[in-house]
Amino acid sequence: MARKYFGTDGIRGEIGKFPMTPDFALKLGWAAGKVLADDGRSLVLIGKDTRISGYMLESALQAGLVAAGVNIRLLGPMPTPAVAYLTRAFRASAGIVISASHNPYQDNGVKFFSNEGIKLADEIEERIEAYMEQECAVVASDRLGRVDRVRDAAGRYIEFCKRSLSSHTALSGMRIVVDCANGATYHIAPDVFKELGAEVITIANQPDGFNINHKCGATSLDALKEAVSKYRADIGIALDGDGDRLAMVDHRGNEVDGDEALAIIAQDRLKSGTIGKHVVGTLMSNLGLEKAIQKMGLEFHRANVGDRYVMQKMNETGAILGGESSGHVIIHDRIPTGDGIIAALQVLSAIISSGKSLYKLRKVMTKYPQTLLNVRVQGEVDLQNKAIQASVAEVEAQLGSRGRVLLRKSGTEPVVRVMVEGEDKQETQFLAEVIAEAVATG
């Protein structure tokens, strides 16, 4: 059954436009509450990032859940992975995050975690959507849900993050700049690194409801680079608005993305014998990561783009490590979802155990140049037609083992994405344009 509202990462959109409206959120809360009630469960945790619209959506979701007879515990501003962790810690029925991740403040979204702290199964989302088509029916007054606030949510999660490192590992002597993206980690991330012994300079930790992700955070590293240089820091750590994405900057100002972080963690875990045999990336993961993982004697698997699909592939293969170039890194023996703080701590642990700087450790993989072209198309395009496939085959023959080609349709706009990866930037640009022409005329 095709889902009407849920995408790969919950429900998201611009505030004031369907589906990000108070009436939709109320109905969504009621529908989710009905599904939980059907399953005999009745406690939901709600966390949010720092967008001004979060208060509106939180109130509407509360009303719907309470009307369905579900009890609620409010966490306040809280990173997405913190909600996943606390859902398990409280033995809750489900967790809800109100966030649009790395998007600007005008957008917001709602995503759910199961009682295991992972994304809801498709079947559960389909059941929620089925209830969305029905009229709201409020339970009897003596069965209405209650709402309480968790006062120590931040402290609980800070301690969880600290425990993700060995008790013998301290960050003493490290000077770290932490960019909180004016988002949900503003009152958590700095304390995690400070309490582990680092000297911490914090930027973008003054959220006002409107400045989340604005020229800061994991998707905009200029401010972080400037601060690392200004304070002569050893490392810069950038999180996104909801804290599930990580980007880093070394002491020379070089950017370190999710692929490189994953390679660094894999190398460190290999030395300690705590990695298993498999690592998962996505179709967009750099070829350099694949080759680096294979050089370590490990198997590299590619999942569809999206942390939901990375997690599925990790479960299939038994992998402990998985992630995306964008910075969603999953350390499954720590937490079963992308977590920027946990991933950063794993990289810092690798720095400490190796005695090498991030600048040196990032050389564990050599990034291949990638050219990504978006080809706007009219109507439905068959990517298997002869002209397009002949063009792809020609490019793949020219690249051989030195590169790869990826074609995929956008799920949100009439665009075909053409990606060519190889050793030479000019060559990848030329070859991508060859395929793009075939797509445009095919």
pLDDT at residue 411, as a whole number: 66
Does a structural domain hold residue 63?
yes
Compute the Cα dihedral for 132, 136, 140, 144 and give only its sign: positive
Q: Could you give the angle at the alpha carbon of 365 between the alpha carbons of 363 and 366, nearest 5°? A: 90
pLDDT of residue 7: 86
Gyration radius of the chain over CA positions: 22
Clarify whether residues 117 and 179 are in a common domain: no
Q: What is the CATH number of the domain that holds 194?
A: 3.40.120.10
DSSP state string for 323-368: E-TTS-EEETTT-SS--HHHHHHHHHHHHHHHT--HHHHGGGS-PP
Are 110 and 43 found together in one domain? yes
- Whole-model pTM over 0.85: yes
Contacts of 191 (CB under 8 A, 6+ apart): 158
> Which positions are catalytic?
101
Distance CA 414, CA 437 (A): 16
Please report which residue ranges of 135-178 form alpha helices under DSSP H.
153-163
- The confidence score (pLDDT) of residue 308 equals 86
pLDDT at 332: 96
With both helix axes pointing from N to C terminus, report the angle between 258-272 and 340-354 in degrees, rounded to the nearest 10: 50
24 and 127 in a single domain? The answer is yes
Whether residue 38 is found in the same domain as residue 145: yes
- Does residue 79 fall inside a structural domain? yes
In a domain, 229, yes or no: yes
Q: Per the domain annotation, does 167 fall within a domain? A: no
- The answer to whether the beta carbons of residues 267 and 296 sit under 8 Å apart is yes
pLDDT given for residue 36 in this prediction: 87
**Structural domain of residue 96, as residue ranges?**
11-151
Q: Is residue 3 one of the residues assigned to a domain?
A: no
Same domain, 15 and 135: yes
- Whether residue 163 is contained in a domain is answered as no
Q: Looking at the structure, do residues 226 and 287 belong to the same domain, yes or no?
A: no
Q: In tens digits, what is the pLDDT along the chain, a chain of 442 residues?
A: 567 999 878 999 999 999 999 999 999 999 999 998 877 778 999 999 999 999 999 999 999 999 999 999 999 999 999 999 999 999 999 999 999 999 999 999 999 999 999 988 889 999 999 999 999 999 999 999 999 999 999 999 999 999 999 888 999 999 999 999 999 999 999 999 999 999 999 999 999 999 999 999 999 999 999 999 999 999 999 999 999 999 999 999 999 999 999 999 999 999 999 999 999 999 999 999 999 999 999 999 999 988 889 999 999 999 999 999 999 999 999 999 999 999 999 999 999 999 999 999 999 999 999 999 999 988 888 899 899 999 999 999 999 989 999 998 876 678 899 999 999 999 999 999 999 999 998 7
Neighbours of 19 (CB within 10 A): 18
What confidence score (pLDDT) does residue 362 get? 97
403 belongs to a structural domain: yes
Query: The domain spanning residue 430 has which CATH number?
Result: 3.30.310.50
Q: Note whether 30 and 147 are same-domain residues.
A: yes
CA atoms within 13 A on the CB side of 301: 20
The closest of 224, 228, 265, 242 to 109, measured between CA atoms, is: 242
Total domains in the chain come to: 4
Note whether 404 and 424 are same-domain residues. yes
pLDDT of residue 188: 98
Per-residue confidence (pLDDT) for residue 413, from 0 to 100: 75
Which of 151, 185, 212 represents a domain boundary (last residue)?
151
Listed in order, strand segments (DSSP E) in 309-402 are 321-323, 329-331, 370-376
User: Are 45 and 116 found together in one domain?
Assistant: yes
* 386 and 349 within one domain: no
